[in-house]
Amino acid sequence: VLWALAAVQTARLSTFMGDATRIEHVPIPLAEHFNHHACMTAYVQAAKLAEARVDNLYDADWWPSLGHSPTGDAQARAYAPFELDAYAYPPPFLLAPRLLRALSHDFSAQRALWYGVQALTMALGLWLVGVWIAGADARAGVRALLLAPLIVLAPPVLVTLQAGNVHLVVVVMAVVGMLALQRGRPALGGALLAFSILAKISPGLLGVVLLVQRRWRDALWTAGFGLLWTLLALIVFGSAPFAAFIHYQLPRLRSGAALEFFTGSIVDIAANMAPAGLPYKLEALGLALGDASAAAATIGTLFTLVAIALTVVAGRRSGDLRIQVGLWLAVLTLGALRSPFAPPYVGFAVLWLLSLWAAELRRPPGAVALALAFVLLCVTPPLPDAGLLLFSMVQQALLLALVVWFIVRPTRPPS
């Protein structure tokens, strides 16, 4: 039944991704503000600017949601009816949309191709992990495969695929890369893990796991491919994107200025699952905190230290393949939550983690608790502003609590 429902929803979404006028086929009709939102517009536009060798492709004037300039507005017309999103990723990631542009310069075709690659990559990742776990523990692997459609059906996942955000693919690449390293395929594992790190930085916490476990060869393979991807990006795009990222974008990412759009509405503030977003939620609820951005920066710094400490603990944990995959997913979530703005899609790794956690369940109370956690992370009820903010804070707390508990819990917790 789950697989049939997933097939129906995938077919609906595929129809819309193939034809943007078929809005009646969007999988989550209530999320109307996503009907004309496409994160991948930023990827394609950034690759276009990099090919043109502009001095600073991160400059706010290029991006309507940041600079509100005539230049940005003019660039956005090429993507109508979709809004032009802002680009915030490191330069090596541009190799992916550059390949997309090599295949087609028509945005509708680019959008369909990007969706196809993302959906198939996610499906392949869920399948491979389930099959590999089944090789060591048939019961756990079969449960993971049977519950995989629940992940596909989760509203945050469907909306992320619809928007074309690369987060799902980055998580899958990182997990499959770690699995390949563990199974003695260092070239494949190093290439996948290195690209995921260069794409979003936060998967770099998995590099800490490798170092804690003294897997020097795997760490060297990953570093070597990281250098290779960086050199390839330098050859293709030149040094300007790298200089702009280091001197212009990184300081703006640390301060949150590069993602200032997430404070523009209650919906955006509520959607932020990052601990650094908490001061903005409290401020929106009427609690005076002084400078919310300064408080967010302080929380971000403290959370970085906590995330590194928990990553070290995760690296020292032992367990079967299912446990190890779960720990990688927990670490990836910690890294994603370090961003000043972490939309609900950061919960993808935790939803995947819960599907693996289900293998431990023996009694109904444990299954009910896990199902309730899954639902709470997936839903966004129609609430007034204050209720929406409070509910999002509950989701924040639950997301972080699940990650921390999986890392520090006893090996065989009572279910």
Cis bond before residue 340 (omega within 30° of 0): no
CB 408 within 8 A of CB 313: yes
Percent of the chain at pLDDT exceeding 70: 96
Looking at this protein, which amino acid is placed at residue 322? R
Q: What was the pLDDT predicted at 415?
A: 41
**Gyration radius of the chain over CA positions:** 21
With a CB cutoff of 8 Å and minimum separation 6, the contacts of 279 are 289, 292, 293, 295, 296, 299
Q: Which residues contact 338 (CB under 8 A, 6 or more apart)?
A: 202, 274, 300, 303, 304, 307
Token look-up 């936060």 returns 202
Place of tokens 């408080």: 295
Write down the pLDDT at residue 24. Answer: 83
- Cβ-contact 221, 252 below 8 angstroms: no
Question: pLDDT at position 363, please?
Answer: 83
List pLDDT tens digits, range 284-325: 888 877 788 888 888 989 999 999 999 999 999 988 899 999
Mean of per-residue pLDDT scores for the chain: 90
Per-residue pLDDT, averaged over 331-340, amounts to: 94
Per residue in 239-288, pLDDT (tens digit) is: 999 999 999 988 887 766 766 667 778 888 998 999 999 999 998 888 87
How far apart CA 57 and CA 279 sit, in angstroms, is 30
* Integer Cα distance of 10 and 15 in angstroms: 9
Residue with tokens 């977003």: 277
Q: Kindly report the number of other CB atoms within 10 A of residue 275's CB atom.
A: 21
User: Residue 413: is its pLDDT beyond 50?
Assistant: no
pLDDT of residue 203: 95
Q: Which residues pair with 38 in a beta bridge?
A: 84
Amino acid at 162: Q
From 38, 46, 60, select the one nearest 160 (Cα to Cα).
38
Q: Using the predicted structure, report yes or no on whether residue 2 has a pLDDT greater than 70.
A: yes
pTM given for the model: 0.93
User: For position 316, what pLDDT does the model report?
Assistant: 94
pLDDT, average across residues 23-37: 77
Distance CA 125, CA 355 (A): 14
Q: What are phi and psi of 101, to 5 degrees?
A: -70, -30
Task: Report the pLDDT averaged over residues 37-52.
Answer: 93
Instruction: Give residue 36's identity as a one-letter amino acid code.
Output: H
Residues 6 or more apart in contact with residue 17 via CB below 8 angstroms:
111, 112, 115, 116, 162
What contacts 24+ positions apart, CB below 8 Å, involve 173-177? 173/121, 173/125, 173/199, 174/203, 174/206, 174/328, 174/332, 175/125, 175/129, 175/325, 175/328, 175/329, 175/332, 176/125, 176/128, 176/129, 177/222
**Spatial separation of the C-alpha atoms in residues 306 and 53, rounded to whole Å:** 39
Provide the CA 151 distance to its chain's centre, in angstroms. Answer: 14
Mark out the alpha helices in 285-363 (DSSP H runs): 292-316, 321-337, 348-357
- In three-state form (DSSP H/G/I as H, E/B as E, the rest C), the secondary structure along 76-122 is HHHHCCCEECCCCCCHHHHHHHHHHHHHCCCHHHHHHHHHHHHHHHH
SS3 362: coil
Contact 390, 396 (CB under 8 A): no
User: What residues have CB less than 8 Å from 137, skipping those under 6 apart?
Assistant: 320, 321, 322, 359
- Determine contact, residues 336/346, Cβ cutoff 8 Å: yes
Cα three-residue angle 232-101-203, rounded to 5 degrees? 50
d(CA 342, CA 259): 10
Range in 41-45, 70-74, 244-248, 352-356 with the lowest mean pLDDT: 70-74
Taking the C-alpha atoms of residue 321 and residue 140, their distance in angstroms, rounded to an integer, is 10
Place of tokens 């989760």: 154
